[in-house]
Structure 1
Amino acid sequence: MSEGEANDVSLEDAPAAGKPQNKAERSSTGDITTDVYAAAAECLDAVLKGRASVKSAIFNSPFPEKRFLMAITQKTMDNLVHIKRIAYKSNLLKQETRLSKSMAYVLIYDLLFGEMKRARGIAGLIWRYRKALNEEMQKYLKENEVQDVSQLKKGDQKGLQHPRYIRVNTILSSRDEVEKTLKNEGFILKEYEAQSQKGFLKSIRKMGARSFYHDYHVPNVVVLNPMINFYNHELEKTGKIVVQDKASCLASLLLNPPAGSTVIDACAAPGMKTSHLAALMENQGKIFAVDLDAERCKRMEKSLQHYGVTCATTINEDFLKISPQNERFSAASHILVDPTCSGSGVTSRTNKQNRQSKKEERERLQKLKHLQMTLLKHALSFPNVQRVVYATCSISPEEDEEVVQEALKSNSQFILRPYSKYLPKWKGCGKPRYSVGPNCLRSFPEKHLTNGFFVAVMERYVPLAQEEGLVDGEVKEVGDSGKAEPGENGEVKIEQPVTDWNPAKDKRRKRKRKHEDTTEHWSAEKSSQSKPSAKRNKK
């Protein structure tokens, strides 16, 4: 739906709050309903933007009837997942531009979940759409396989907007076994509307309560309704499934070490990625699961045992203190670096982080960036490592593109491989204003229905002439980067130079930043991902 103002709506849907006292009727507009809608919309806006919790927003509101205000604000929050979905489907927010989103959500709550029976003033803006909204509500109830709104699960909008992802632990089980168990429990396997990322996402957005899908991007991941809890399920208790966000599977999938490899998981706890690596390696080879925290290391060891991992050894040590020349670790061919980060991509943490001041956030990001870059450079220094994957659950470029770009500039032995080479179905790349951006993978909560994640794949570069001698009797010229790559037919392909983006090109940077929020979500779906940098070079 749209943005609106509300004036005459019954708020009897909040019996716990009781009816407001007469003194509230002497508030700013003289209309208690209009005032409570306005106050609730302000509180909701503060909560959604991370400026306050529900309680503190209510406490700081000038509206006098706190219990009454708490009732409508909290109930709107409880049903926000459903409200947002119905609002989007009804197209209200585009049609009714006079309403702010927060005001629209509060009014939709009272109309569909409360007892709005008449409308004056601001409520009149939503009242005219009641037929369309009620139609969308009926469709939504049918999709969720419930009869009325009371049967819809309540919960915080941040935690409910993503599906429930479970990864089949192929060490102890198989996709067929898990699928059979789900079907025996009354779940129905569905097919996507189309074999594409868009078709897959469209299907899971309207997934029913007893439906499940096989994930489009990650093998052996099953997608279920977010209301389904698998933490105490028999499959989880026996280690046959791992409850793990899909985005966190991407790093292991892109590292993809073959069976028999020697692997270092540099910041391994709690061990979900380690167990995924072990499954990809068919539990054959060696994984050194390194973590600095002793307590987390103990829990990780128990977790790996629970999942039947026998090829991993937990090591309670600082990864930076492990010498690349140490015989025990020097044979590592694959390293995963998933360091401590701000967690800005994890939707359940963002409210807390948003309450930091801008100065505090900048200082924190710079400290994290320094640590992350040190860890990545250390990983690249191991003598036999062939592939290094760097990953964070952050959406901040300081921790992502900037770290990768600077690490590659300091080590000419490695090149950045396009994520699309290993995961061509994924559409979503890094920020195009960085030269490394188009080759890095990003997941976006709203677009991909996962946590926000960043992954970059780096591989050791071996010049063709060094590997096979001269090509056609001569070594072909190498580009400015000083790197060449053998192509499929034996020719030398010039790699795109890894160059820093120059912030001195001031005004261009500002112009692009306005466009950045949309570009970063969809740029990978267009063939011309690197056009922004190309235009910059022409100038």
Structure 2
Amino acid sequence: MVEILRPTAIGRLEELGVNQDSSGASIGVSIDPQPQFEEVNTIQRTKRLLPYNHRVMLAASVYLEYIQGQRGLPPQPSYFKTDPYLMRQTYKLALGTFHYIQVIEDLLLDTYFYSSYVQVSISNPPPSRDPQFRQCQSLVAVMLYNLKLLGFKAPRAYQCEFGETVREVQEVHEALLRFKTKFHAAFARCRIKCNAYQEDQLMSNDIRIRYKSCVSTPRHVRVNSLRRNKDQVIMTLENRGYTKIAPLEPWTPFSFYCDPLLEQLLVFSPDSKDDLTNFALVHDGSLLLQDKSTVVAASILHNMISPNGPSSNDDVIVTDIGTGNAACYLAALQSKEGSVLAFGPAPDATEKLLTKSDTLNASNVHIVNEPFLQSSCKDKIFKGVRGILCNPPSSLSGVVDIVELVVEEGEKILPAVAKGPCDTASLPRYVTTQYLTLKHALSFPKVSCVVFFTRSIHPQECEHLVRKVCDELSESSDDSPFRLVPVDSAVRESVLTNDSFYHPLVNMKNIPTDISSKCLRVMPTAELGGFFVATFQRMAVKSSTILERALEKGTLGGDPSKGSSSAKKHKKNKKAAKKLKGDSAMDPTTASMIKVRGKSRKSAKRK
């Protein structure tokens, strides 16, 4: 029996512990209480400019080492919860440095920066001369990238923006400022060498396209109907200073509109991201920062389970809970009698997910404390499951706004999304996991529909994978097999667009048309990230098959030993029924069933 963790009333957790990076500097505090958020009627419209303070520089250098694989996942700094603006700037600074890391290393070599600052050590004879900043290369890279953003000029308000001064960061800053002229000249030589008329041409093509797409990406926010209704949320937003506009109207400062397809989804202007993160409705669970792709996938599954009603009493499985956003949305769509079983939380993430489900009032979300591939489809706890949202890990190549995704999903996805959409080194590992997960989801005997969802644009993770599974399903001897069915046309028309910069990055020549016509592929745009959805539905068992099984078992009053002769009579009845013409011809299966039932009833009366 698998272990299921049910949500309980858990208080907010405090962030504990001090983390030391490789240079010995602290990025956290010992105890940081949770901030208190209050409703306000005005938007905090103040914006801070570069440069960053010492804490951001130090934390960005630690995350840069994590992206490069030089260290494990560090704990979040304490200021992340008190200042969402600095949290985003930390991620943005670490990712930007990683994308320019080759250029930064060339600048440091060209200017002989490390060899110019030598630290003499006389503790152990003979005396050694080691580079002074060699032990904090990630911090040097982050601060040099920040200096490049400032045009290699000394910032005027740098000291007042620092806040708490860290000696090591101050030393690196002063050393870089002494070389700012050399860095400027070396950067110009680098652009001439690479024939880069613009600075972004020094990055790879796929990274440059991603940056181009995420300039004006809006923020999708879901209204949690388990806490407040949509009208109450809109009224609170308007009192705060937001403006509601029509979907096709141009953006105005701090505006939003209601998604025309998904009733509980609100779309906010790009300039409201920082204010939403610090909004009281977000912290009390009334609003949830959630990508539109997960809302679309969960809505498709719910509509397949209950096409004629607003809610369903059936149980639903989510193969990878992640942050719990998709599971909590399915819980809001399901009735209280229907449960959402979410698989695969890490041991350190269990309490966070239970706390989140408690905050969102999603009492019918139950966490199965084991990987989905290790579960048994014959377990009794899955007897009420009718639908599965198959969302295994993917390359996340369809993500446009990486910073917002990291804010939503967590820092653990930073190495995967930082490499760019065209990185195919890890595709075989993802494809294998996705194939095994989808096949296992299709093996549940009571499940009627499976929705395969991935945030990838590579055909290997999308159409080619579905093609392989469909070929195996067609060769299956199952009487009620799964078949690939088309995605709802209303959903397809609402999300499909043609103005995507990502089309040259994907080879779409060998994609089978019979698969692509039924699946939903969304290429990334400035308004929406890319994702892929394929829907599988179980076909109904043929009545003739049910009858033959009943005749063989003798459950209809016949002799099981004469099952073969009864089957032959059934085939003769079908042939005779085909000869009949006109509307008076009875369905052969119905005729055979009436005949058999008549015999069984007569024999019962005689007895």
SS of residue matched to 1:423:
helix
Q: Retained in 2: the 8 A contact 1:262–1:333?
A: yes
Q: Give the direction of change, closer, same or farther, for the CA distance of 1:416–1:465 in structure 2 (3 Å limit).
A: same
| Residue number among 513, 517, 531 corresponding to 1:438 in the alignment | 517
Q: Retained in 1: the 8 A contact 2:388–2:451?
A: yes
Asked if 1:234 is matched to 2:302, the reply is no
Opposite residue 297 of structure 1, the aligned amino acid is T
Q: Which has the higher contact order (CA 8 A, sep 6+)?
A: 2
Displacement of 1:235 in angstroms is 0.6
CA RMSD between the two structures: 4.1
| Residue number among 333, 348, 351 corresponding to 1:280 in the alignment | 333
Q: Give the direction of change, closer, same or farther, for the CA distance of 1:343–1:419 in structure 2 (3 Å limit).
A: same
Asked if 1:178 is matched to 2:233, the reply is yes
Gaps of 5+ in 2: 1-49, 53-92, 114-140, 152-193, 202-210, 307-311, 407-412, 475-480, 498-505, 548-573, 580-607
Displacement of 1:420 in angstroms is 2.8
Mapped partners of 2:51, 2:291: distance in 1: 38
Q: For 1:71-130, what per-residue CA distance to the aligned partner results, in whole angstroms no more than 9, with x for missing partners?
A: 895259xxxxxxxxxxxxxxxxxxxxxxx99736889xxxxxxxxxxxxxxxxxxxxxxx
Q: For 1:192-250, what per-residue CA distance to the aligned partner results, in whole angstroms no more than 9, with x for missing partners?
A: 34xxxxxxxxx4xx412221111133221111112213222111111111101112211
Q: Give the direction of change, closer, same or farther, for the CA distance of 1:57–1:474 in structure 2 (3 Å limit).
A: farther
Q: Give the direction of change, closer, same or farther, for the CA distance of 1:354–1:332 in structure 2 (3 Å limit).
A: closer
Asked if 1:374 is matched to 2:428, the reply is no
Q: Which residue of 1 aligns with 2:222?
A: 167
For normalisation by structure 2, the TM-score amounts to 0.50
SS of residue matched to 2:149:
helix
Q: For 1:468-517, what per-residue CA distance to the aligned partner results, in whole angstroms no more than 9, with x for missing partners?
A: 999x9669xxxxxxxxxxxxxxxxxxxxxxxxxxxxxxxxxxxxxxxxxx
Q: Give the direction of change, closer, same or farther, for the CA distance of 1:402–1:473 in structure 2 (3 Å limit).
A: farther
Q: Which residue of 2 aligns with 1:417?
A: 485
Q: Retained in 2: the 8 A contact 1:292–1:319?
A: no
Opposite residue 217 of structure 1, the aligned amino acid is L
| Residue number among 235, 257, 269 corresponding to 1:213 in the alignment | 257
Q: Give the direction of change, closer, same or farther, for the CA distance of 1:157–1:361 in structure 2 (3 Å limit).
A: closer
Q: Which residue of 1 aligns with 2:269?
A: 225
Q: For 1:401-439, what per-residue CA distance to the aligned partner results, in whole angstroms no more than 9, with x for missing partners?
A: 122221222224111121134625335399582231121
Mapped partners of 2:414, 2:364: distance in 1: 39
Q: Give the direction of change, closer, same or farther, for the CA distance of 1:240–1:355 in structure 2 (3 Å limit).
A: closer
For normalisation by structure 1, the TM-score amounts to 0.56
Q: Which residue of 1 aligns with 2:181?
A: none
Gaps of 5+ in 1: 1-13, 17-46, 77-99, 108-155, 194-202, 476-539
Mapped partners of 2:251, 2:336: distance in 1: 34
Q: Which residue of 2 aligns with 1:399?
A: 461
Q: Retained in 2: the 8 A contact 1:51–1:355?
A: no
Mapped partners of 1:353, 1:271: distance in 2: 19
| Residue number among 385, 390, 395 corresponding to 2:452 in the alignment | 390
Q: Retained in 1: the 8 A contact 2:254–2:271?
A: no
Opposite residue 260 of structure 2, the aligned amino acid is Y
SS of residue matched to 1:166:
strand
Opposite residue 387 of structure 2, the aligned amino acid is H
Matches within 5 A, 1:12-411: 53-54=99-100, 56-60=102-106, 74=149, 103=197, 160-193=215-248, 203=249, 206-228=250-272, 229=274, 230-256=276-302, 257-258=305-306, 259-347=312-400, 348=402, 361-411=423-473
Q: How many residues align?
A: 347
Mapped partners of 1:344, 1:253: distance in 2: 22
Mapped partners of 1:276, 1:226: distance in 2: 23
Mapped partners of 1:214, 1:467: distance in 2: 49
Q: Which residue of 2 aligns with 1:426?
A: 494
Opposite residue 57 of structure 1, the aligned amino acid is V
Q: Give the direction of change, closer, same or farther, for the CA distance of 1:442–1:474 in structure 2 (3 Å limit).
A: farther
SS of residue matched to 1:270:
coil
Mapped partners of 1:351, 1:314: distance in 2: 25
Q: Give the direction of change, closer, same or farther, for the CA distance of 1:188–1:102 in structure 2 (3 Å limit).
A: farther
Q: Retained in 1: the 8 A contact 2:396–2:417?
A: no
| Residue number among 454, 465, 477 corresponding to 2:532 in the alignment | 454
Displacement of 1:170 in angstroms is 0.8
Q: Retained in 1: the 8 A contact 2:449–2:536?
A: yes
Mapped partners of 1:106, 1:374: distance in 2: 39
Q: Give the direction of change, closer, same or farther, for the CA distance of 1:72–1:438 in structure 2 (3 Å limit).
A: farther
Q: Which residue of 1 aligns with 2:122?
A: none
Displacement of 1:305 in angstroms is 0.9
Displacement of 1:298 in angstroms is 2.8
Mapped partners of 2:299, 2:420: distance in 1: 36
SS of residue matched to 2:451:
strand
Displacement of 1:55 in angstroms is 5.2
Q: After alignment, is 420-429 or 261-270 more displaced?
A: 420-429
Identity percentage of aligned residues: 25
Q: Retained in 1: the 8 A contact 2:316–2:339?
A: yes
Q: Which residue of 2 aligns with 1:517?
A: none
Displacement of 1:310 in angstroms is 1.1
Opposite residue 278 of structure 1, the aligned amino acid is A
Mapped partners of 2:51, 2:297: distance in 1: 49
Q: Retained in 2: the 8 A contact 1:330–1:382?
A: no
Opposite residue 374 of structure 1, the aligned amino acid is L
Q: Give the direction of change, closer, same or farther, for the CA distance of 1:282–1:102 in structure 2 (3 Å limit).
A: farther
SS of residue matched to 1:346:
coil
Q: Give the direction of change, closer, same or farther, for the CA distance of 1:422–1:459 in structure 2 (3 Å limit).
A: farther
Q: Give the direction of change, closer, same or farther, for the CA distance of 1:71–1:399 in structure 2 (3 Å limit).
A: closer
Q: Give the direction of change, closer, same or farther, for the CA distance of 1:378–1:210 in structure 2 (3 Å limit).
A: same
Q: Give the direction of change, closer, same or farther, for the CA distance of 1:157–1:176 in structure 2 (3 Å limit).
A: same
Mapped partners of 1:462, 1:402: distance in 2: 26
Mapped partners of 1:168, 1:365: distance in 2: 34
SS of residue matched to 2:491:
coil
Displacement of 1:163 in angstroms is 0.3
Displacement of 1:446 in angstroms is 1.5
Displacement of 1:268 in angstroms is 1.2
SS of residue matched to 1:343:
coil
Mapped partners of 2:417, 2:347: distance in 1: 30
Q: Retained in 2: the 8 A contact 1:244–1:272?
A: yes
Mapped partners of 1:383, 1:266: distance in 2: 16
Q: Retained in 2: the 8 A contact 1:50–1:355?
A: no
Q: For 1:266-299, what per-residue CA distance to the aligned partner results, in whole angstroms no more than 9, with x for missing partners?
A: 1112110001101111444111111152223332
Mapped partners of 1:440, 1:410: distance in 2: 18
Mapped partners of 1:171, 1:15: distance in 2: 41
Q: Give the direction of change, closer, same or farther, for the CA distance of 1:263–1:466 in structure 2 (3 Å limit).
A: farther
